Structure 1
Amino acid sequence: MSTTIRSIRTIARSRAVRIAATGVASLGVALVIALAWRDELARLHAGAIGTAIDRLSWQQVASAAALTVATYLLLPCYDLLALRYVKRRLGAARTIAASVIAYGISHTLGFAAVTGSAVRARFWSSWGLSAGEIAMAVGFAGFTFLLALTAVGGVALAGEPPALLAHLPLAAAVARVAGALAIGAVLTYIVLAARFGGVNVTLRARPWRLPDWRTAVAQVALGFADWTAAAGVLYVLLPGSSAVGLWGFTSAFVLAQLLALASHVPGGLGVFETLMVVQLGDAVPPGALLAALVAYRAIFYFAPFVLAVGALTSYEAWRRRHAARRAAGVLGNALDRLARPFLPTAIGMMTIGGGAMLLVSGATPAVHGRLRTLVDLMPLGIVELSHFTGSVVGASLLVIGWGLTRRLDAA
C-alpha cells in the first residue's frame, strides 16, 4: 500500500515538474516575442499595418480562402488513413465532418493531442468505435502528421535552409545535413513498410501493425499536399513585389510552424508571426508582412474555429434534443406544481391593480390638450360617459380581484 502511494506521489511530482517547466518555457517564449515585436513595431509608423490590410485585394483574400478550404479538405485524409489502419469505416461524410471540426478547434486552441483528439473521440465513440480503436487511430493520425512534417521539413531544409539560420555560422550546412537525415528517415520508413508491411511491432507495451508501402507513400504525399496548401494561404497574401520565392517561403513557413508547435503556445500565436517576421523582414516590407499575417490568422485560424465551434454546438444540441425535451417537460411540470397555488392570488392582485388604475385615472383631471382634442372629435357627453364607464369598470375590477384572491367561485 505504501509502495503504491509513493508511486502515485512520484508520478504527481513528475507531472508537476513537467507543467512547471512548460510554464517557464512559455513565459520565456512570451518574453522573447515581446522583445522581438518591440523592435519590429518601432520601425513602423502609425497606421502602416492598417494601410497594408486595406491594400489587400479581393483576389488575394479569395485565393487564401480557397487554399484554406483545400487544406481543410486535405486534413480529413489523416483520419481516413487512420480509420483504414484500424479497419473501421465510418463513411466519408461523417469522417470529414468530424475531422474538419476537430482540426478547426485544435489549430486555434493548440495542444492538438488533447483538443483535437477529444473532439474525435467524442464523434467516433458515438459512432461505435471502442476506446482501443480510438486510441490507435488517433495515434496513427498523429504519427502521420509527424511523418509529413519530417518529410516536408527535410526537403525544405535540404533544398533551401530558412533565412533564420543564414546568420549563424555553419547553420546552412547543418540544416542541409539535418534535412538529408530527415529525408533518409522517411525513406527508411517507406522501405520498412514495403519489406515488413503487416508485421506487428510493440511500442510502449502496445502492439502496432506496420502499414503497407502504399499507405506509407500516401502518408508522405498527403503531408506534402497539406503543408504546401497551408503555406500557400499565407504566400498569396504577400505583396506581389516581395522578393521571396515559393520554395524559400515554404522552408521558412515549415520551420516557423515547427518551432511554434514546440513552444506549446496555443495556436503558436505570436511565435509563428515573430519567426516569419525575423526570417522575411528583409524580403517583404514590414507593414505588408504583418498585414498578411493578420489576414492569415483571420482566414486560416479564426474563421474555421468559429465555424467548427458552431458545428460542434449544433451537433451536441441535435444529439441531446430528446433529453432536452424531456428536461423541459419535467421543468414545466415542476414550475406548474410550484406556481399553481399562487396563480389565483397573482391574478387577483393584477386585477385589483388594473381597477385601481382606472379609478385613479377617472378621478384625476384630464390633460387639457388631450381633452380639447377629444372634444373636437366627438360630443362632450360621450367623453363624460366614457369617464364614468371607466370608473364603474374600475370599481368592478376591484371587487372581482378581491374575489379572485379569496378564491371565490363567483369571481
Structure 2
Amino acid sequence: MATRLEAAEPRAGGVTAARRPAWGRWLGAFFAVAVLALLVWAARSVDWAQVMTALSQVPPATLLLAALLCVVSHLIYSTYDLVGKRWTGHALPVRRVMLITFISYAFNLNLGSLVGAFAIRLRLYAREGLRQPVPTQVLALSLSTNWLGYGVLAGGLFLGGWLEPPPQWPVSKAALQGLGGLMWLLAAGYLALCTWAPRREYLIRGHEIVLPSLRLAGLQLLVSAANWLTIGLIVHVLLREAVPYGHTLAVLLVAAVAGVVAHVPAGLGVLEAVFVALLGPSLGASTVLAALIAYRALYYLIPLVVAAGAYFVLEAKARR
C-alpha cells in the first residue's frame, strides 16, 4: 500500500535533474550538521565499556555467525525499496536504491523513524532527483512491507501459544491469541484487497491510497517475513540457543512493537525490559542482557557507523 500526497506530471521514472536554489543548499548543509549532532548524541548515550564487556563474554564463533546474519538481515531490508521501485517504475539504479534503504534503516534503528525512515530517506531520494510523490509512495510501500510480514509471523506465533506472558502482565495468553487472530485477519484483508478490490486508488482524508497487485503484495510478505525471521535467528544465536527459536522470535516481535509504542529512539531499555521479563526467569537477567548488548552492537551500532560514512559521502558527491 502506498500514498500519493500531490499530483505530478509523469517523467522518466519520476526523476528530474533540476538544480536546487541557494537556500536549498544552505538547508542541506544545516540538515547534515543536524545529522552529525544526532550521531554524536547517540554515541555519547552508549556505555562502550559495557558493550565491550558483553562482547568479550560471547564466543568468537558465535559473534562471527551473528555478524554474518546481521549482514544478511540488512541486505534483505535493503530490498524493501526495490519493491517500491518496481511498483512506481522510477529509474534509480538498484544499487543506489539499496544503499539509500540501508542508510535510512540504520538511522531508523538508532535515532527513530522520524529521522531514519522519513527525513533521511526522503532527503536522499530528493538528492537523487526523485520527485514527489514517488519517494512518498516508495516509503509507504516499504513501511507496509515491514509490518505485513510482522503481522503474519506474530499472528502465527501468538495463535500457536509460543509466548506465555508472566502473571503480572496485563495481557493474558488468551488475549495474545486473540491479537494473533486479528493480525492474521488484517493481513488476509490486505491481500484480499490487493486481489479483488474493484479499483486500485482510494482517497482518504486528502491522501490517495494506492494498492499494489497481489504479486507485489506477496513479494512484500516474502521479504519482510525473511527479514524478521533472520533478526530472530540473530538473537537466538547470541542467546546460544538456550530457548526454542520460536519462543525467542515471539519475544523479539513483542519487544519490537513495544519499542515502537514507547517512542524511544532505538527502543533503548524497552527491548531489554521485555526480554528480561520473559526470558530472565529461565536464563538469568545477566545472560539475557549480555546477549542483547552484543545484538545492539552488531545490528545497530556497527551498521550506523557504516551508514553514517555512506551518508556523508553521498552528501559530498551531491554538493559537488
Corresponding residue of 1:239: 240
Task: Tell me which of the two structures has the higher relative contact order, counting C-alpha pairs closer than 8 angstroms and 6 or more residues apart.
Answer: 2
Work out whether residues 108 and 117 of structure 2, in 8 Å CA contact, stay in contact via their aligned partners in 1.
yes
Alpha-carbon deviations, 1:22-53, whole Å to 9, x = none? xxxxxxxxxxxxxxxxxxxxxxxxx9998764
Q: Map residues 20-35 of structure 1 onto 2, 5 A cutoff.
A: none
Corresponding residue of 2:201: 200
Share of identical aligned residues, percent?
28
Deviation at 1:148, TM superposition (A): 2.4
Alpha-carbon deviations, 1:130-166, whole Å to 9, x = none? 1211122212222222222222221221123533356
- Does residue 95 (structure 1) correspond to residue 80 (structure 2)? The answer is no
Q: Map residues 4-403 of structure 1 onto 2, 5 A cutoff.
A: 53-110=55-112, 112-165=113-166, 168=169, 171-196=172-197, 199-240=200-241, 242=242, 244-321=243-320
TM-score relative to the length of structure 1? 0.62
Alpha-carbon deviations, 1:251-278, whole Å to 9, x = none? 0110011101110110101111111111
CA distance in 1, matches of 2:124, 2:176: 41
Deviation at 1:115, TM superposition (A): 2.8
Paired AA for residue 69 in structure 2: L
Corresponding residue of 2:8: none
Paired AA for residue 68 in structure 1: C
CA distance in 1, matches of 2:170, 2:116: 39
Work out whether residues 202 and 208 of structure 2, in 8 Å CA contact, stay in contact via their aligned partners in 1.
yes
CA distance in 2, matches of 1:308, 1:277: 30
Alpha-carbon deviations, 1:76-117, whole Å to 9, x = none? 22211122222213121111111111111111111x144332
Higher radius of gyration, 1 or 2: 1
Deviation at 1:228, TM superposition (A): 0.8
SS in structure 2 at match of 1:107: helix
Work out whether residues 162 and 255 of structure 1, in 8 Å CA contact, stay in contact via their aligned partners in 2.
no
Work out whether residues 235 and 248 of structure 2, in 8 Å CA contact, stay in contact via their aligned partners in 1.
no
254-263 or 195-204: which moved more? 195-204
Paired AA for residue 284 in structure 2: P
CA distance in 1, matches of 2:176, 2:318: 50
CA distance in 2, matches of 1:52, 1:239: 14
Work out whether residues 54 and 294 of structure 2, in 8 Å CA contact, stay in contact via their aligned partners in 1.
no
CA distance in 2, matches of 1:106, 1:170: 28
Work out whether residues 51 and 294 of structure 2, in 8 Å CA contact, stay in contact via their aligned partners in 1.
no
Change (3 A) 1:76 1:54: closer
Alpha-carbon deviations, 1:1-20, whole Å to 9, x = none? xxxxxxxxxxxxxxxxxxxx
SS in structure 1 at match of 2:209: strand
CA distance in 2, matches of 1:186, 1:162: 21
Work out whether residues 194 and 212 of structure 2, in 8 Å CA contact, stay in contact via their aligned partners in 1.
yes
Work out whether residues 77 and 101 of structure 2, in 8 Å CA contact, stay in contact via their aligned partners in 1.
yes
Work out whether residues 165 and 172 of structure 1, in 8 Å CA contact, stay in contact via their aligned partners in 2.
no
CA distance in 2, matches of 1:132, 1:169: 42
228-237 or 79-88: which moved more? 79-88
Work out whether residues 194 and 213 of structure 2, in 8 Å CA contact, stay in contact via their aligned partners in 1.
yes
The structure in which a higher percent of residues are helix is: 1
CA distance in 2, matches of 1:52, 1:312: 29
Change (3 A) 1:213 1:292: same
Paired AA for residue 266 in structure 1: P
RMSD of aligned residue pairs (Cα, Å): 2.3
Deviation at 1:235, TM superposition (A): 1.2
Deviation at 1:167, TM superposition (A): 5.1
Alpha-carbon deviations, 1:216-235, whole Å to 9, x = none? 11111222111111111111
SS in structure 2 at match of 1:163: coil
Change (3 A) 1:166 1:218: farther
Change (3 A) 1:135 1:317: same
CA distance in 1, matches of 2:169, 2:270: 20
Change (3 A) 1:265 1:288: same
Change (3 A) 1:149 1:214: same
TM-score relative to the length of structure 2? 0.79
List alignment gaps of at least 5 residues for structure 1. Answer: 1-46, 322-411
Alpha-carbon deviations, 1:374-395, whole Å to 9, x = none? xxxxxxxxxxxxxxxxxxxxxx
Work out whether residues 153 and 251 of structure 1, in 8 Å CA contact, stay in contact via their aligned partners in 2.
yes
Alpha-carbon deviations, 1:307-335, whole Å to 9, x = none? 111111122123324xxxxxxxxxxxxxx
